Amino acid sequence: MLMKPTLRAVAEAVGVSRSTVSNAYGRPDQLSPQLRQRILETARQMGYPGPDPTARSLRRGFVGAIGVLFTSRLSYAFTDPFAVRFLTGVAEAAERHDSNLLLIPLPDDAAGARTAVENAAVDGFCVYCAGDEESILDTIRGRGLPFVTTSSRPRAGDLWVGIDERSAARSAAAHLTALGHRRVALLGDDVLPGAPVGPLRVADVADVPHPTTRDRLAGFAEAFAAVGVAWPDLTVLTATDNTRAAGAAAARALAHLPEPPTAVLACSDVLALGALDVLRADGERGRRVSVTGFDDIAEAAPAGLTTVRQPGEAKGRSAATLLLDPPADAAAGQILLPTTLVVRSSSGPAPRS
């Protein structure tokens, strides 16, 4: 088997030190043009490709890339509308700072997730979505790398950009309570891991493991508690995934309930759109059921979906900017973004019994 040419072999062939050959690739200003050209030509003839870029970047303590962490499959980054908007914002900020992105899906098991974080060759992390977030952040801290999180509950001193999830969800639910709705279904994806699609008994909203889903469900529940509807009286629907098809599959279970709800509050727009697909196909009876979503993705307006608008691109831009150009003032390292309830035709007065 032929041995690959090495930096040392090139140095010996040219009659210079190994650091001089290395400078020809990484610090050309340290050499005369003639010497650099001779080194590069010798390397080409020997078949030497140059120093390993990853090893070189790690030695100088700078990789030129930030890692974006997902708790889902990699394709989610390209198919989920809000994730696409968020990543667009991250990419815009990264471009301005001459940095690259590394998308890192986290395996479901804790050990696999930690390994993915430990092995990532990046300068820092943008934690977009992580189930066991504290464990992930502790792993990042162990590496001594900076990170920014979009979690709903950041630690003091952490770089953070996000929204008030509970307050935003509460605004959507309060809109429906004002319209007279009391018998409602709350729709989220993977509310309890491994649970079957459809109605689900959740003893307490605190039992929901995913922080974003938990906070949105809690915000919905708080608005209904204010008008006398307790958590056990709310129907919780779980979908297998955050997709339109999964939302539709979960919504089909509504027809089998003894008392179908007058409204569905979804934790995302894609789930809400799936519910709308099912309800509108059910004719006039289904059209009388109000539906709300969360995010205000591009498909929401054409569907007439009432939803909570949050700034996806701005969230991504702010997160990447905090990571790549952190402020000197710690207080400026946490950014609370605004949300707005956008009322459209998918919500209306509760039908009279």
Q: Are residues 178 and 297 in the same domain?
A: yes
Q: Are residues 326 and 206 in the same domain?
A: no
Q: Can you give the CATH number for the domain in which 289 is found?
A: 3.40.50.2300
320 part of a folded domain: yes
How many folded domains does the chain comprise? Answer: 2
Q: How far is CA 116 from the centre of its chain?
A: 16
54 part of a folded domain: no
Query: Do 67 and 120 form a contact (C-beta atoms < 8 A)?
Result: yes
Q: Are residues 152 and 171 in the same domain?
A: no
Per-residue pLDDT of the chain (353 residues; tens, 9 = 90+): 456 788 888 999 999 998 898 888 777 778 898 998 999 899 889 888 776 555 544 444 567 889 999 877 788 888 899 999 999 999 999 999 889 999 998 888 888 888 888 888 888 999 988 767 788 888 888 888 899 998 777 778 889 999 999 999 999 999 999 999 999 999 999 899 888 888 989 999 999 988 899 999 999 999 999 999 999 999 999 999 899 999 999 999 998 888 889 999 999 999 999 999 999 998 877 789 999 999 999 999 999 999 999 999 999 999 999 999 988 887 789 999 999 999 999 999 999 86
Q: Are residues 193 and 203 in the same domain?
A: yes
154 part of a folded domain: yes
Range of the domain at 102: 65-163+312-336
42 part of a folded domain: no
Q: pTM of the entire structure?
A: 0.81
Radius of gyration in angstroms for the set of CA atoms belonging to the chain, rounded to a whole number: 26
Q: Are residues 158 and 292 in the same domain?
A: no
316 part of a folded domain: yes
Q: Are residues 224 and 327 in the same domain?
A: no
Q: Are residues 148 and 248 in the same domain?
A: no
32 part of a folded domain: no
Report the pLDDT value the prediction gives residue 57, as an integer from 0 to 100: 47
Scored b (16 or more CB within 10 A) or e, 308-344 reads bbbbbbbbbbbbbbbbbeeeeeeeebbbeeebebbeb
